[in-house]
Structure 1
Amino acid sequence: MRLFFIIFLSTFVFAKTLYIAASSNISYAMKDLINEYKKQYKNTYIKIIYASSGKLTAQILHNAPYDIFLSANMKYPEVLYKNKKALTKPKVFARGLISLFSVKYDNLSIKSLLTAKQIAIANPKFAPYGKAAIEMMKNAKIYNKIKDKLIYSETVTGVIPYVINSADIGIIAKSSLYSKKIKNLGKYYYKDVNISLYSPINQGVVLLTNKKEARNFYNFLFTKKAKNIFKRYGYLE
């Protein structure tokens, strides 16, 4: 951990650098968000570290030098706020959705999970999208029938290569459908999961430092332009 901090600090020392810790599901929308943000703040250099929300929270609790944290749920920002690692109370900036994804099943539905041999999901211990997948299965009353078929990736984005290489079906963040890896497949299938089967995935943000660049980006996340970008990438407003 100490070596990580040394490399982190020595490699990216800029006067106007913004260090963002972000859940991996946000990565697909981030390019457009940054491009829009830089129309107003051209001189800000932005460094983004993507990982599971749980792993990023652990790093921040051990004093990782991030300025702002974008989580896949509200739980982890709340942990940081309670531990006085965040300057602001957690605030919802977007709501995530889950979808079924496959390169084998062309008529996807919840029932497809019953016939699949392997189902890939993000690890529910660390990834909110994995937790939503489990909740969906339980509410659909199929969890006990398919739990032995589940294979886990560390993050929700890691579900995609599992499905491409081995799993019959994956449960992914809807935003993942906009990844280059999926678009380059040419042929794939997906089905949005009815939101009545799982709790809305409220994605939370907190400020970790009082840097001007961090506050500017924090405020930008709640503008109409940012909201439209999130909507375009598979999130609820």
Structure 2
Amino acid sequence: MRRAAQVPVWLSILLFAGGSSLVGADEIRVAVASNVVGAARVLVDRFEAATEHSVVLASGSTGKHYAQILHGAPFQVFLAADERRPRLLAESGRAVEGSRVSYARGRLVLWSPGESLVDAEGGVLATGDFAYLALANPRLAPYGRAAKQVLENRGLWEALEGRRVMGENIAQTFQFVRTGNAALGFVALSQLEAPERSMGGSRWLVPETLHEPIEQQAVLLADEPAPRAFLEFVTGEQGQAILRDHGYEVP
């Protein structure tokens, strides 16, 4: 019996989102880091309303998107959660020359739906008044890497080894906390501050002195007018205002 052909995950996402045809004259395929997908949906709505183009978003961890791009995923724009992967794509010639740009600066938050669990200094991490702590996989997700750096700076990475729950990306990490599978977790400020979904609970806005800056960069992967127009919209006045409204600092 012949085995059915295996369809790559990125191809399944694009097929689901874009219908039977992956390529349309004005269709833009965008790989977007999980932390920014809420803002990206608003960006897409405003961009599509102002132009004749349509945008297909594929969300996931920056590390996975990077691997997919290296293996030929047909994305035209990459909105990453760090500066490293866009830089590597630019240095290897896989990105359009001169297109790498910073579009946002993310902030890390320790958050719990519980109203009093997380204190203003993050002291709960040391007191251990919780069963599980969620964070994104540091190998794949820049926000997870920042969370690991915070725990290392506090001398708690090893101490919390049996109580850490790792999400593949920051979206899954957020769900772990929101659904109660973890009492608290390191999430993106943008996940709590979106105008359409302001979250309560208790939080600690992590000082940036405890981790490397979360500098979010983008690159063009196809030198075509429509993808370039979308990236220019993201980095333009209207796009930057949308990102600011979703909890990001902007360049």
Global fold match (TM > 0.5): yes
Per-residue CA deviation, residues 138-165 of structure 1 (Å, 9 max, x unaligned), is: 2233333323321100000111221123
Partner of 1:176: 191
- Please say if residues 87 and 209 of structure 1, whose CA atoms lie closer than 8 Å, have aligned partners that are also in contact: yes
Distance in 2 (CA, whole Å) between partners of 1:2 and 1:93 is 35
Cα distance in 2 for partners of 1:218, 1:67 equals 10
- CA shift at 1:224, angstroms? 1.8
Q: Aligned equivalents of 1:170 and 1:137: distance in 2?
A: 12
Instruction: Report the 3-state secondary structure (helix = DSSP H, G, I; strand = E; otherwise coil) of the residue aligned with 2:218.
Output: strand
Contact 2:194 2:247 in 1 (8 A): no
Q: Would the alpha carbon gap of residues 158 and 169 (structure 1) be closer, same or farther in structure 2, given more than 3 Å must change? A: same
| Structure 1 unaligned blocks of 5 or more | none
Query: How far off its partner does 1:104 sit?
Result: 3.1
Match of 1:155 in 2: 169
1:146-225 equivalence runs, <5 A: 146-163=160-177, 164-178=179-193, 188-225=201-238
Deviation for aligned residue 1:176? 1.1
Contact 1:105 1:168 in 2 (8 A): no
Answer whether contact 1:28 1:178 (CA < 8 A) is retained: no
Corresponding residue number in structure 1 for 2:147: 133
Aligned twin of 2:76: 67
TM-score (norm 1): 0.89
- When normalised by structure 2's length, the TM-score is 0.84
- Give the counterpart letter for 2:167 in structure 1: S
Matches of residues 1-237 of structure 1 in structure 2 within 5 Å?
Answer: 3-4=7-8, 8=14, 10-41=20-51, 43-89=52-98, 90-104=100-114, 106-109=116-119, 110-114=122-126, 115=128, 116-163=130-177, 164-178=179-193, 188-237=201-250
SS at match of 2:169: coil
Distance in 1 separating the partners of 2:37 and 2:183: 24
Is the Cα contact below 8 Å between 1:70 and 1:203 reproduced in 2? yes
CA contact (8 A) 2:112 2:203 kept: yes
The 2-side partners of 1:6 and 1:125 are apart by 23
Aligned residue for 1:99, secondary structure, equals strand
CA contact (8 A) 1:105 1:169 kept: no
Aligned residues between the structures: 234
Report the CA distance shift for 1:176/1:64 in structure 2 as closer, same or farther (over 3 A).
same
How much has 1:3 moved relative to structure 2?
A: 2.8
1:26-75 Cα deviation digits (max 9, x unpaired): 1111122123323431x101101001111111111111111110100011
Gaps of 5+ in 2: none
- What is the one-letter code of the residue matched to 1:104? G
Report if aligned partners of 2:48, 2:55 keep a CA contact under 8 Å in 1: no
| Matched residue SS, 1:235 | coil
Deviates more, 1:12-21 or 1:101-110: 101-110
CA distance in structure 1 between the aligned counterparts of 2:71 and 2:111, rounded to whole angstroms: 36
**Aligned AA (1:134):** K
> Post-superposition shift, 1:179?
6.2
| Secondary structure of the corresponding residue to residue 38 of structure 1 | helix
